[in-house]
Structure 1
Amino acid sequence: MAFETKEEVFEKIMEMEKPVCPHCKEEMSLWEVPPINVGDGLGWGTPYLFMCFNDNCPLYTQGWDSMMENYAQRASYRCINFPGTEQFELIPVFSPMGAKGQMIDDQVMAEEEALKQNIKKGFSILADCYVNQDGVTILKLLTDPAEPVRVRMKAAEMMGDIGELEAIEPIRNLKFGNQRLQEQVDSAIQKIHGRFFTRECPFCAEIIKRRAKVCKHCGKEVAGQ
């Protein structure tokens, strides 16, 4: 079974129609599962659930008395749904604000949808650039901090495939602030060197031929370095 990242799961859920709470008939909200184990310790099996946050839901309003009467606990229930299924269950909450910290509201959903569209746009531009061998535009996307990380990661990968030696200097001296992206950029630089049979002088950092014995820039011996 293929592993799905949290981001991929979120994208799938974004395309789903929100379920309706069977207790109050109100539309449920997306809820990010907190990083704690429940039940048998295996967790919920999904990073997101739908939850009813309607404070007038009969399940929620009547749950306070039920929990106090049966378990002597000041708590209630909220209804949850497993995305893409008809499976509805109950989850205890211990205050009116319980679980609301992980609620993903409409604004967050809109922001995520905008991010998704930006990623699609970036990938489309990169695809055209790759076909046209347009390394300049790929470099612009890679070095633009406003672009989504996934777009910049793909740009770095493509830069390794079609980038020229001139692309090394601007990306070598840029701090990307994301470890995975930085690793992808470092890998791209090595791929560019590999395609052109070059390397960087260990003394002056200028680009030289891989088999060079003396750096043509600083004059130092680099054989064996």
Structure 2
Amino acid sequence: MVVTKSDVYEKVIFADRPVCPHCGKEMRIYECGQTGAVCGSGWGTPYLFVCVNDECPLFVEGWKHMRETYCRSCSYRCFCYPDSRRTESMVVYSYVMPGIIDEATITGDRARGTPEDPEVQKLFGFFESRNLEELLAGLFDEKLYYKLRLKAAELVGELGMLEAVEPLRDYEFKDRRIATRVRDTVQRIHETNGTRECPFCAEIIDAVATTCSECGRKLNPSSLE
């Protein structure tokens, strides 16, 4: 499966924060590609953990070291790779780190897809009103956060409406997580209704039928368990 920037971000915001080996302060999440560092690309990851403690010895002493050694007005900040947890130093030209993600933003993003999320509550509203059309619209929305799409698929399965099967079968889901959940959803709908799909014509028929009522082909009866 292709790992997207969003996938990495989600992993990072739920990960344990490393502490700076120079000052012992907990690091913050930094989005690469922002200004304030020597380069914003080539890190091999879209996010890093960075020490932003302005009293960190590495940062404080770095200004003097760089000025006396290289005649440059810059310093160092310690950073940590999220996967390997290897720490290194990056050169910075300012006290400000524009790429540092606000903690309130992280808290909000952690709550996405949880029962408390307003978007999830909206999906529950569609479920309560048996609004299959809106649930499917969310499920088919490739730009929607994947956990919301997973919840939409789950609720479609709980509704158990047979008319959902055909559009679910016809749609090609690019995200493997969504595709897997949708297969479970379709199976649940069939179990709820005591149906299955004819392996020859794909029409929905009785699960224990021995002959397809649509194409007339002989079938092996399917267990409802």
Same fold (TM over 0.5): yes
Match status 1:216 vs 2:218: no
Q: Which amino acid aligns with 1:134?
A: N
Moved more, 212-221 or 183-192: 212-221
Alignment of 1:39-188 (within 5 A): 49-52=49-52, 57-62=59-64, 77-79=76-78, 91-93=87-89, 96=91, 105=99, 120-188=117-185
**RMSD of aligned Cα (Å):** 4.4
Offset of 1:78 from its aligned partner?
A: 2.1
Give the SS at the match of 2:209.
Answer: coil
Pick closer, same or farther for the CA change 1:109–1:163 going to 2, 3 Å: farther
Q: Which amino acid aligns with 1:30?
A: I
TM-score after normalising by structure 1? 0.59
The equivalent of 1:31 in structure 2 is 30
Q: Which amino acid aligns with 2:62?
A: Y
Pick closer, same or farther for the CA change 1:11–1:157 going to 2, 3 Å: same
Pick closer, same or farther for the CA change 1:51–1:9 going to 2, 3 Å: same
Contact map agreement 1:129 1:138 (CA 8 A) in 2? yes
Q: Which runs of 5+ in 2 are unaligned?
A: 1-7, 17-22, 33-46, 70-74, 81-86
Q: Which amino acid aligns with 1:140?
A: A
Q: 1:10 aligns with which of 8, 13, 26?
A: 13
Q: Which amino acid aligns with 1:49?
A: F
CA distance in 2, matches of 1:139, 1:209: 24
